[in-house]
Structure 1
Amino acid sequence: MSANEDGHNIFQHAVINRSEKVYNLLYRMSTLSYIYRAIKDSHGNNLLHLAARPAPSSKLNLLPGAALQLQCELQWFEEVEGFVCPLNIIEKNSFNETPRMYCTFC
């Protein structure tokens, strides 16, 4: 599976950058979705850790007001939380952080 310079594959990149269309396309490809659920990056972050990262400013700047931005961030986190394996929700990365501990908006 190919990865970018940060070691993230296309599904991880879609989660980090809040690319809903790419995420939904890959999500529907059931044969691949099981593979993407388990993959971690070089820091032991699963998909939920990546969803917990702050969105790129280019995405947040499209939304007026902090409350709407926060609501969209929480919705994205909850969407990815529903996709990952249940153990990913409590799994710790190499910094000993669960996705919720890593989350800046939760």
Structure 2
Amino acid sequence: MKKQVVLSLCVIALSITGCSSAPNNDSSEPAVIAVGNVDYDSLYHFGYNRGCESAIAEKGSNQSVDSMKDTTLNGIDSFEDGWRSGTENCNGGEYSPMYTVGLAQ
């Protein structure tokens, strides 16, 4: 009997926890595919985001964008292409996401 009660309480606790971690769908702003989205996790996307962050950081520092580049990935074509795109799109000092997802009206 005690095992059934404990098992029931565990199932209820897991059910509550699972529901509380549902994503929040705030439709007031367009969804942006950001860093960490597994569907868009590649060297190109990493290079884009790092290039963009570096271009923005350059505005407030005395470092050049190239000095902020990840030397470990330097020379890998997909990273280089992403880096180049990121630095070009964000060179105005403001973050420019790679993709903006339109929400259904």
Name the TM-score, length of structure 2 as normaliser.
0.27
Higher-helix-fraction structure: 1
Report 1 or 2 for greater relative contact order, CA contacts < 8 Å, sequence distance ≥ 6: 2
Query: Larger radius of gyration, structure 1 or 2?
Result: 2
